Structure 1
Amino acid sequence: MQKRKLLTLSICTAFVLQMQLIGDEIEKESATSKESLGNVEIISSNASEDTDSYTIDSMNTSTKLDLSIRNTPQAVSVFTRQKLDDQNITSYQELLSKIPGVTLNKWDERVYPTARGFDIDYNLYDGMPTYSIADYGANDTDLSIYDRVEIVKGANGLMTGAGNPSLGLNYIRKHANSKKFKGNITLSGGSWDAYSAIADISTPLNEKGSVRARVVAKHEDKNSFMDNYEKTTDVFYGVVDIDLTDSTYLSFGASVEDIDRNGIRWGGLPAFYSDGSKTNLSRSKTISDDWTYWDVKTTSYYADFKQYLYEDISLNLSYSRREIDSKTALAYYYGTVDKTTKNADGYLYDYVSEAEEKEDNLNLYASIPFKAGNLEHEIITGFSYNKYDFKKNNYSGTGYISASSLNFSDINIANPHLSANIPTLELPSKTTQKGVYLAGRFSLMEDLKLIAGARVSSWEYEADNGNGDRKFDDEITPYIGVVYDLDDNHSVYASYTSIFKPQSVKDSSDNYLDPIDGDNYEIGIKGEYFDGALNTYLTIFRIEQDGVGEDTGRVNSKLEPIYEAKEGVTSKGFEIGISGNVTENFSLDFGLANFEAKDENGDKYNTDSSRTTANLFAKYTFNDFRFGAGLNYKSKQYTKSDFFDKKIRQSAYTTADLMAGYRIDKNLDLQLNINNLFDKKYYEGIGDNSMVYGDPRNATLIVKYTF
């Protein structure tokens, strides 16, 4: 706590000293300024679509400050619309597999991804954090309605409040930026009867083009290399953007994503035969039947308002709401397999559920860019509010029953015809987080910039039955970074930031432990070339997660376990990245990440996360042809078995991807993507009963018509 107070005091001191230095200059420049607001061009919104770029001019995911990638004192990256399209990345889980430093840890339809040794436990949509629980939704967000995804490595508590110091993904929606009618229709067909159609249409709604609309609709049907599996996805998104005046902007929209999955697995394949030897079952095998399903419907609404007050000073107000409804009928197997007979040696658990989640987000902030001492500065101050309302999770289950009739040569599981009629005891419940934040970018000299800020958060969990209620106030999240320009192309930086993670365990006095502190230290060098078309970085980081609750082995008067806050986990490593257009015809995206994480006893932490990962994709274009190739590497990972005194391992592996495209004319384009070209057999998830294969070789042919 003392460390946090000193850091916060240092930040405040930096603000005060800087404001004293420039205060007189602001007053002089304001007194003599005769400029009016003028005609502000709002609709560009730094969109990445309609460009061939693998990078963007600026991003504000880490601090809300308008910073270039080079001037952001953390490792950041972006998947632009062009990069997503070139690699045919269409969903959240596909995206995770292409991000350097991320291990997917897939269980079934669910993933438990990690970065830098810690769980990735939040996403952002247009800069607003969300905390919906993935277990109940098994959601796999479709990317067709997003312009790009911005990524911040390490802690991001200034903008998000609670979470782990791992990684944050910020999904930036598409907008109605066009003042003329235009659009595109995309059709695709691929392996395992995968077919999709997307229509993306923009149009002005008045003669001036000050009111514009855009609609994106998608339908996808696909089977799988897995037996029984079928998936249908329907997406609809509509947005209206309005220039109310030359200085006032309003945007509002809504989206629906409906995912229906049948023949679904719950958990993965068993790792062991009954004699303790490792299984090597077919990739098509799943412990499931055609009566199983896992359906999710996500409905979202949002509104953004921007008012320019004077020159570039703006007031910004955003609101969003998400509603997630999910239904399941599932079968889980726990045990091993007889090596000779292929009979199950374990238990089945049949389960059905109906869950409902709602989330409201509000963000109000002012952006105050200004010039003083002939140097550019910016201050951001704001308030954020997030309420996650877990309305229900009704369920029913058979419990663990003998699976003696189950044979892995021909898996058949009888439908128990359960009804989801048992309310989960802890629900309904609400998690509410509020925060006020202040951040600034100050040019101390032409070549030296200070980025500093702080957030004060409150976090509260309330269950209708009072079970587990807890509240934490005045959680301080500091942010401080320094960027120094070595020359026209290179900058060095150092930064410190943090994040906190509430806990649900108690000490010997029956009080909940304080939230876990996650502290993120980074130093690095960044490069920016060809007027920002190409960005590079090398960063070295150290993350400390302190105050982690550890079971003492004792219980209180209620027979509940007693925990003590311990030092926790330390993760340290480095990352290298290159992304952008090397020449007009050659685009490159490369990232390599390495870390080592250990607990307070010096033991390896989260060993099921690959310590080294790398992703490479390069594209060359000449005339109307383009060719791309990619490599994806993950080092070994392992976990301990609960059945045997053994480790379950996935050795290091590399997969290769290819892309070829041809622009027939200005309207029509063809593209072929092949993933896992050499048909590498590997697991994306490991565990006693959660062995999940990665996709075999597959191909997709895409036809796009633009008008």
Structure 2
Amino acid sequence: MRNSSSIFGIISLVLASSVVHAANTEGNPTDLPTIKVSAEKKATYTAQKTSSSTGLALSPKETPQSVSVITRQQLDDTNAQTIDDVMGQATGITFNQLDVGGRTTYRARGYDITNYKSDGLAISGGSGFSGAGNSINMDLYEQVNIVRGANGLLGGTGDPSATIDLVRKLPKKEFGGSLKLRTGSWDKKNAVGDINVPLTKDGSVRSRLVVSTEDSDSFRDHENLKRTGILASIAADVSDDTTIGAGFQYEKSNMHGASWGTNVPIWFTDGSETHFSRSFNPVTNWSKAEREGKTFFTFLESDLGNDWKLKTNYAHTQRNDLSNIGLLKVNNKKGGGYTIWNKDGTGAFLNAFHTDRASTNNALDISLAGKVNLFGRQHDLMFGLNGSQLQETTYGSVCNLDGMSGCQIRQHNKLVDWRTWTGNEFGDFLYSRTGASTKATTNLLGGYMAARWSLMDDLSLITGVRRSYYNTYTNNYTVDGQNSGQSAKNSAHAWTPYYGLVYNFAENYSAYASYTDIFTPQSEQKTNGDVLDPITGQSYEAGIKGAWFNNSLNASLAVFKTKQKNKAVRDGNNHVLDDLTKNAYLQGTGRETQGFETEISGAVTDNWNVSAGYTYLSVKDQSTADREDPRHLLRLHTAYNLSDYINGLTIGAGASWQSYTLNTANPGRPLSDDKDTPLKVKGYALFDAMARYDINQNFSLGLNVSNLFDKTYYRQYGFYNGLIYGEPRRFTLTLEAKF
């Protein structure tokens, strides 16, 4: 028997500030242990409903697609503070890292993830030399919704990998707050304050302020991270039926010791492996990556009566991203060939570059959802309009580094000894704007509709369609601010259908199947300057889902297949219109992926939470020999409250395992016959552990240990003959006070 009174407030407050309550009800008898979840614990690793896939608020069992929700409880238990921490525990998601503090691409089902959202609105969330990814501060967010597979119905582009939706913390009606102090390995210093203040006695007007600040070193030499996150918001129930709200969000990160490309060579000139220490980091003292974002957002939710609701959401974001990078690395050298290190300390040259970018993004979503009665049955309908305009400005710069001309150099004239490297050998890196700039504008607008048709008591059909309009162009400005013309023009439009069928064949189980199209515009250019056609294709998925204890425990088994066409591939060593700074591309032969996933998440018993997922992936792609996605991937985290035995104690453990991948090293292993050396990068397993002790109802002390057995592994292996080490064993101690 199970009582589920107010299971917990994890449901994402998308477009509105609302408190979700589950009425007392008896659970269905199952073979699993009985479970009780109290309003005080809120200790669950799943959501009761999600609208991230179709726009319709459905339970996971009713959703015909793979959806994972990483809740605030799981984020706290795993001590997740960055988007990298989150992706490292998510089912089916891997990474491809090229830099430290720069380019990291997250992948799912054999494709790059390019769709990022915050509260359902498109954001520039990628982790690169510009984009929010490296500055995202998870202390500001309530949960993360991950839709695997194409999500073109709501997003406009049918990226076949996954869509990541970050849900902000928003005001609640009750007064309360917390203060967290974190410390640990490599002089970690982090403080997080979170306070919720009702501005009226009944909480109809309420506010929330979250502040996070950090100053921490790294296991790498010369590396330091300073981060700040602020989220201030207010919400008001202007009537019994309407809630409005607004807020401001600020996120900034400053990484000293960032790298451009892999920061440690794999081989010396004689072909032997380097085996450098994980702490070795040959960057200059002025090497840095600064990311800053400011967002103003508003939302409205109105109950129109007769089970119809109107929701609107708008956000305006301004970003500034600066990279000023210098390090010793393998790269092209003047006169041809590559700079390779020698064991005697010679062969290392400075590589440096500078970029200065700013962007503005405006995003809007308006939706109307409700119920209709037709043919004696009740159905769900939803209509919406959303879009975004992203303007990215790259400023022209002049740099002066010991005779350097331009703002990028792959081989400085000065030769240094990497064995005695201190980071001060090249002095200061001076730079300033010239007045010239380029401004790239991307517009994406679409209307969509979806419906869940109740065909029978246990059978529902979900249909949807979207009409998308896309265009992009770049304005080029001279040093005196004059527009010298447009380039890289591209436009496209497409219909994106969505079909899903869900059959509840037993009390706790459903079977489903879904289909949607793939449509993703590309910005890569051919040798003649023309932009490539959009990526197209199809995405299929089918599976079985289970839900128990009023949806507090969810499980799924899914098979999927994706066919993608027209994906850009590099056109050898050719360049765009003889512009040596831009690689030319061709329409690729396409990629097919297929596999299966299984996942379980939520509360197994009153005291036991679990999140576990396994993915098997098969990739067919004739355009590349690389297989950067592991065939097997396992994610697991579990936490158990031992209060029945030791009052106030919770313990947990986690594991992440992936099989080998195939990469290609360029320029290739020295003294090897192959110019590009194929590399089989062995898989690895990482283990985590946590413990938390509630000293009393107001104070708790927690310990997290990541990479418990101090496994040596690689975040990158092969890019420009280099590697990036993964993080060694790390300890984090957290003291939290609640009030």
Give TM-score, length-normalised by structure 2.
0.85
8 A contact 2:385–2:446 mirrored in 1:
yes
Q: Of 318, 334, 345, which aligns to 2:330?
A: 334
8 A contact 1:186–1:703 mirrored in 2:
yes
Aligned residues: 662
Distance in 2, matches of 1:238 and 1:250, equals: 15
Please report how far the alpha carbon of residue 468 of structure 1 lies from its aligned counterpart in structure 2 after TM superposition: 3.6
Distance in 2, matches of 1:424 and 1:102, equals: 39
SS at match of 1:144: helix
Distance in 2, matches of 1:46 and 1:300, equals: 30
Deviations 1:132-179 (A, max 9, x none): 66422362311111110000001111111125311111111111112x
Gaps of 5+ in 1: 1-40
The corresponding residue for 1:217 is 211
Distance in 2, matches of 1:455 and 1:146, equals: 29
Q: List aligned pairs for 1:373-452, cutoff 5 A.
A: 375-395=377-397, 396=399, 397-402=407-412, 405-411=415-421, 412=423, 413-422=425-434, 427-452=438-463
Structure 1's 338 and 130: CA in aligned 2 closer, same or farther, altered over 3 A? closer
The corresponding residue for 2:482 is none
Please report how far the alpha carbon of residue 508 of structure 1 lies from its aligned counterpart in structure 2 after TM superposition: 9.6
8 A contact 1:267–1:689 mirrored in 2:
no
8 A contact 1:104–1:685 mirrored in 2:
no
Deviations 1:172-218 (A, max 9, x none): 1111112x321111111110010111111001111221100000011
The corresponding residue for 2:706 is 675
Distance in 2, matches of 1:392 and 1:562, equals: 20
1:114 aligns with 2:107: yes
8 A contact 2:117–2:125 mirrored in 1:
no
1:597 aligns with 2:619: yes
Please report how far the alpha carbon of residue 556 of structure 1 lies from its aligned counterpart in structure 2 after TM superposition: 12
The corresponding residue for 2:658 is 634
Distance in 2, matches of 1:404 and 1:325, equals: 32
Q: Which moved more, 1:637-646 or 1:389-398?
A: 389-398
Structure 1's 390 and 510: CA in aligned 2 closer, same or farther, altered over 3 A? closer
The corresponding residue for 2:335 is none
8 A contact 1:350–1:416 mirrored in 2:
no
Distance in 2, matches of 1:58 and 1:230, equals: 40
Q: List aligned pairs for 1:524-543, cutoff 5 A.
A: 524-543=543-562
8 A contact 1:192–1:223 mirrored in 2:
yes
Structure 1's 472 and 658: CA in aligned 2 closer, same or farther, altered over 3 A? same
Please report how far the alpha carbon of residue 647 of structure 1 lies from its aligned counterpart in structure 2 after TM superposition: 2.5
The corresponding residue for 1:33 is none
Structure 1's 651 and 662: CA in aligned 2 closer, same or farther, altered over 3 A? same
Q: Which moved more, 1:589-598 or 1:158-167?
A: 158-167
Please report how far the alpha carbon of residue 531 of structure 1 lies from its aligned counterpart in structure 2 after TM superposition: 1.7
The one-letter amino acid of 2:519's match is F
The one-letter amino acid of 1:460's match is N
1:517 aligns with 2:492: no
Q: Which moved more, 1:631-640 or 1:564-573?
A: 564-573
Structure 1's 349 and 153: CA in aligned 2 closer, same or farther, altered over 3 A? same
8 A contact 2:135–2:292 mirrored in 1:
no
1:495 aligns with 2:514: yes
SS at match of 2:265: coil
Q: Of 53, 57, 72, which aligns to 1:62?
A: 53
8 A contact 1:92–1:143 mirrored in 2:
yes
Percent of aligned pairs with the same amino acid? 30
Please report how far the alpha carbon of residue 474 of structure 1 lies from its aligned counterpart in structure 2 after TM superposition: 3.0
Please report how far the alpha carbon of residue 566 of structure 1 lies from its aligned counterpart in structure 2 after TM superposition: 4.9
Q: Which moved more, 1:268-277 or 1:207-216?
A: 268-277
Distance in 1, matches of 2:149 and 2:85, equals: 21
Please report how far the alpha carbon of residue 660 of structure 1 lies from its aligned counterpart in structure 2 after TM superposition: 0.7
Structure 1's 215 and 547: CA in aligned 2 closer, same or farther, altered over 3 A? same
Distance in 2, matches of 1:49 and 1:634, equals: 37
1:544 aligns with 2:559: no
The corresponding residue for 2:679 is 648
8 A contact 2:663–2:681 mirrored in 1:
no
The one-letter amino acid of 2:702's match is Q
The corresponding residue for 1:703 is 735
Distance in 1, matches of 2:41 and 2:322, equals: 38
SS at match of 1:136: coil
Structure 1's 595 and 312: CA in aligned 2 closer, same or farther, altered over 3 A? same
Please report how far the alpha carbon of residue 689 of structure 1 lies from its aligned counterpart in structure 2 after TM superposition: 4.6
1:460 aligns with 2:471: yes
Structure 1's 471 and 706: CA in aligned 2 closer, same or farther, altered over 3 A? same
Distance in 1, matches of 2:688 and 2:261, equals: 28
Distance in 2, matches of 1:625 and 1:591, equals: 26
Deviations 1:410-468 (A, max 9, x none): 3234134231425676x111101000001111111111111110111011112113544
The corresponding residue for 1:43 is 18
Gaps of 5+ in 2: 1-15, 23-38, 332-338, 400-406, 477-484, 669-673
8 A contact 1:436–1:455 mirrored in 2:
yes
Structure 1's 122 and 403: CA in aligned 2 closer, same or farther, altered over 3 A? farther
Distance in 2, matches of 1:552 and 1:451, equals: 42
8 A contact 2:667–2:721 mirrored in 1:
no
Distance in 2, matches of 1:430 and 1:172, equals: 26
Please report how far the alpha carbon of residue 399 of structure 1 lies from its aligned counterpart in structure 2 after TM superposition: 2.0
1:610 aligns with 2:626: no
Deviations 1:639-680 (A, max 9, x none): 112222222343111011001111111111111100001000
Please report how far the alpha carbon of residue 469 of structure 1 lies from its aligned counterpart in structure 2 after TM superposition: 3.6
Q: Which moved more, 1:371-380 or 1:316-325?
A: 371-380
The corresponding residue for 1:10 is none
SS at match of 2:430: coil
8 A contact 1:318–1:363 mirrored in 2:
yes
SS at match of 1:679: coil
Distance in 1, matches of 2:175 and 2:488, equals: 53
Give TM-score, length-normalised by structure 1.
0.89
Distance in 2, matches of 1:626 and 1:585, equals: 9
Structure 1's 638 and 202: CA in aligned 2 closer, same or farther, altered over 3 A? same
The one-letter amino acid of 1:621's match is N
Distance in 2, matches of 1:419 and 1:117, equals: 40
8 A contact 1:158–1:499 mirrored in 2:
no
8 A contact 2:259–2:283 mirrored in 1:
yes
The corresponding residue for 1:5 is none
Q: List aligned pairs for 1:543-582, cutoff 5 A.
A: 543-549=562-568, 565-582=587-604
1:319 aligns with 2:314: yes
Deviations 1:601-658 (A, max 9, x none): 7x65x51222221111111112111110111101112311222222234311101100
Distance in 1, matches of 2:629 and 2:237, equals: 47
Distance in 1, matches of 2:344 and 2:727, equals: 28
